[in-house]
Amino acid sequence: MWKSLQDILPKAAGKYNFAGTLKAIEVCQEYRNIAKEIFTEEALKSTFPKSFKEGSFTIGALNSAWANKIQMNKHRIHQSLQKKFGEKAVHTVKIEIAEKLPTDAALQEPPASQETA
């Protein structure tokens, strides 16, 4: 019987010591979803998930205007992350002004999936 990767991956992450990395990826992706919901797609052109380590999530903003928008919605973002991952998983949300968007492919929005017939 086949098992989905979604069922296998969390167990393997714990077994092979990459659970923290997997959680960071999940938190960063969820921020992208939350940002689109609160601010629309424009937010992803000027903000990005910068890091997630030991329960502290940092959002990068390209300028003070976007940092201010994030700050005004920080509580909402934090609550959404805690609702998805638990209060202990994400205990702080920080904002930092960045000089540019990251070029690291891992931090970019994944391409839209295309259905095959």
The answer as to whether 4 is a domain residue is: no
Q: Go through the chain and tell me how many residues it has.
A: 117
Domain count, the chain: 1
Assign 3-state DSSP to the chain and report helix, strand, coil percentages, each to 5. Answer: 50, 15, 30
Residue 78 lies in a domain: yes
Largest CA distance in the chain: 53
Q: What is the reported pLDDT for 117?
A: 44
Q: Give, as one character, the DSSP assignment of residue 111.
A: P
5 falls within a domain: no
DSSP 83-116: HHH-TTT--EEEEEE-SS----GGGSPPPPP---
pLDDT at 1: 66
Residue 105 and residue 5: Cα distance in Å, rounded? 22
CATH number at residue 39: 3.30.300.180
Which tens digit of pLDDT belongs to each residue from 44-93?
899 999 999 999 999 999 999 999 999 999 999 999 999 999 888 999 99
- Residue ranges making up the domain that contains 80: 11-101
